[in-house]
Chain A
């Protein structure tokens, strides 16, 4: 018989578990690859090359990491308060829509005004999108997992409606896409002639800020207390509802910023296929980071690498590009199991007899 016992936290285990989980997820990709009949050695080599092969591939990975850091932070921050924000995808699209609303010529001002303005608009839109499910949870006890998931579909339909209606680019040859963001509102590129943009810096700075907020401020402590034990938090005089709303606004705002980065940093205009699921991948990033803001940066880089590497590999050898999604999904499950290993240990219990 086996018994489960809690174990004391160890920094080494806390670091090793997500790293191992990520590696195991990558290794498990061998199974679908083999089933698809690929040469495994070649496939992994191509994946490596697809990420580290050139300056271009490295900046591509960083470009992919930029929205993932933000959606990862959005999920991690909300999860810390035990607020299950699964609506990152919808909040991202609303953020992008808000950026387009103010950034396509409605207002004209120099970059020093325009850039903060689109960022603010996007963050605000995302924050409001998360405020609704948070309010429904606090006021009516409606499970926010289900409401945020369902709202993702609503928001995407809303964005499509806008792109076919008031936001439609008259010069877009009939395609449902928005007018382009004006130059003054575009986030500056970070590397000459590459697609990498300042959205990455925003993500890095916010990761650092959230790290300090959670660990060193009274508000961060309140959020953690509400998340870990709302009854004890309420008993200790912490306003649970208000704290949750605050966490919800920040979380939604972060996901909204991811949307701003994609339209105002990368694409330049909004379409209904802006995000290949960054909102959902953000959940994987957050779990892989074990909800630590600094860990989110590392986890986002890993997931971005999986996307970029698997994409380029699958193009090269003709395997379905859904392989990347498969690896990301497996990573979520391996890190979940890893979390168990780091929190508990299994103790073999000898049955009866003279053993001690």
Chain B
């Protein structure tokens, strides 16, 4: 492994400091699932430890145990006190974790949007019933911290108005302000551009050299190899191996992460056919927190997967709303299979043969309180297969649900189970069954594998490839560049509401486009 990385930083030598954290035999169950199985871990002063694993491997659970959000079913955590002696950490108590010098930056930020950055940092650090607040002194302390760490934030701006990268810096400052000696970052780069991510890691490396211990959770091999001192790999809740990063072998780690399962076979390619979707100069104003689209043009043909890369918040939600029929463009035209669309309604789009896999499957995809079979037919309540004379054909619907359970490998007790009792992966399979059951001509897949376990993600990928095979066009919106590089025939980048086709498949070039700089 070369010591020089793309970002140009050199990871300092693995910290040889004293042990600051020791986890022994940590075990956590959720129902029948063993999320963490007897995990041991040690962390030294000034060390950057990468916790690597697929989605669902148990990384976040382990960190939530450390921070006291969950109670372990077994095992013990010991943390060094200010004098360096290891003390047992009371389980299930975030305030005890904070007091012991542990700071956590969650994947979903825990910030109050209606407060300023400074107030978010100060929240909980002052005596609750104090009659006045010394914001001036506190601001000076935070300023000093910003200078020392290199994390810059507009302190008097409401967090709701900050960018995602700034919010992350607020989160880190929050932890540092409370005296964190151990910093946990849960998938810190998931929401950042490659450049922002590199900058974050440079800052972290510098702070580690200054004595901070860092655990960062990731499933991106590249950044783990570039920025950590040591790697711990989790798979299905078990610690399957650890090594010093300098001695790490990329292929070996990949095997550790995914097990022996082989990746999906490369699909046969057919030449792209007739244009299915044509967007021409589409402009959509932003709405609330949602960024808009600005003169977007895009053509998707039959037998083609077009990947839309970009950092979230750059118009992906608007593009998805447009292609779902939930929003109409203010300017520009959209045609499906050669016919210009004038009525933008989800029902109209469904009729025109558009299948949609929504980004937030719980919020937009299913009705949790209703049964699996009812959710399966939700998009086609007007078809003779589902209703006759306004009445539901319950027998036919159930039969269809049983077939879907078998074909799509949905793990559910039966067609009448309320969907809220299914896991995220099985809910996604249900949505796949609903979408692909209609053999759509155009498919919008918005973050289709996010948060899924390996099996469910594989099912998504297989169905998308099959659809391409039979002649459908696919729009794949994803923040995971690796996913896009692995699946898409063509790649376009969405940045600031503008869409530009990537001329090369080079990661660095696409990354530059994602931050708005032409490669």
**Chain A interface residues toward B at CB < 8 A:** 1, 5-6, 8-9, 216-219, 221-222, 224-225, 228-229, 231-239, 349-356
Contact = CB atoms under 8 A, between A and B. Distances in A.
A8 to B, nearest CB: 6
Given A1-B71, A353-B74, A228 B368 contact: yes
B327 to A, nearest CB: 11
Given A225-B370, A232-B365, A351 B91 contact: yes
B358 A218 contact: no
Contact of B91 (A6, A237, A238, A352): A352
B394 A351 contact: no
A236 B346 contact: yes
B120 interface: no
B207 interface: no
Given A221-B374, A224-B370, 11 more contacts: A1-B92, A5-B31, A217-B391, A217-B392, A218-B382, A222-B381, A225-B370, A232-B378, A235-B364, A236-B379, A238-B347
Contact of B350 (A1, A6, A237): A237
A218 B386 contact: yes
B390 interface: yes
A351 B378 CA distance: 43
A218 B382 CA distance: 8
Contact of A237 (B71, B345, B363, B390): B345
B431 to A, nearest CB: 10
Contact of B367 (A224, A353, A355): A224
Interface residues of B, number: 45
Given A6-B421, A236-B378, A356 B390 contact: no
B73 A356 contact: yes
B167 interface: no
B74 A221 contact: no
A239 B381 CA distance: 12
Contacts of A224: 367, 369-370
B92 A351 contact: yes
Given A224-B367, A235-B356, A235-B365, A218 B71 contact: no
B312 to A, nearest CB: 18
Given A237-B345, A355-B73, A355-B74, A231 B363 contact: yes
A356 B75 CA distance: 10
A289 to B, nearest CB: 17
B326 interface: yes
A225 B345 contact: no
Contact of B71 (A6, A234, A352): A352
B71 A351 contact: yes
B143 interface: no
Nearest to A224: B370
Contacts of B394: 216
A233 B346 CA distance: 10
Interface of B: 27, 31, 71-76, 90-92, 324-326, 345-350, 356, 358, 363-370, 374, 378-379, 381-382, 386-387, 390-392, 394, 417-418, 420-421
Nearest to A239: B347
A232 B92 contact: no
21 contacts: A6-B420, A9-B418, A216-B391, A217-B392, A218-B391, A221-B378, A221-B381, A224-B367, A225-B378, A229-B368, A229-B369, A231-B364, A232-B367, A235-B324, A237-B349, A238-B381, A239-B345, A352-B75, A352-B76, A352-B92, A356-B73
Contacts of A235: 324, 326, 346, 356, 358, 364-365
Contacts of A353: 74
A350 B406 CA distance: 39
A8 B379 CA distance: 26
Contacts of B368: 228-229
B322 to A, nearest CB: 13
Q: Which of A232, A233, A238, A354 has the most CB of B within 10 A?
A: A232
A162 B196 CA distance: 70
Given A232-B366, A355-B74, A216 B381 contact: no
A234 B367 contact: no
B256 to A, nearest CB: 27
Contacts of B349: 237
A349 B374 CA distance: 35
Nearest to B71: A349
A353 B421 CA distance: 30
B392 A234 contact: no
Contacts of B378: 221, 225, 232-233, 236, 238
A351 B31 CA distance: 17
Contacts of A350: 71, 73
Contacts of A234: 326, 346
Contact of B381 (A5, A218, A355, A356): A218
Contacts of B356: 235
Contacts of B387: 217-218
A353 B27 CA distance: 11
B92 A221 contact: no
Contacts of B90: 352
A229 B92 contact: no
A233 B370 CA distance: 12
Contacts of B374: 221, 225
Nearest to A230: B367
B364 A232 contact: yes
A203 B391 CA distance: 22
A30 to B, nearest CB: 36
Contact of A356 (B74, B348, B379): B74
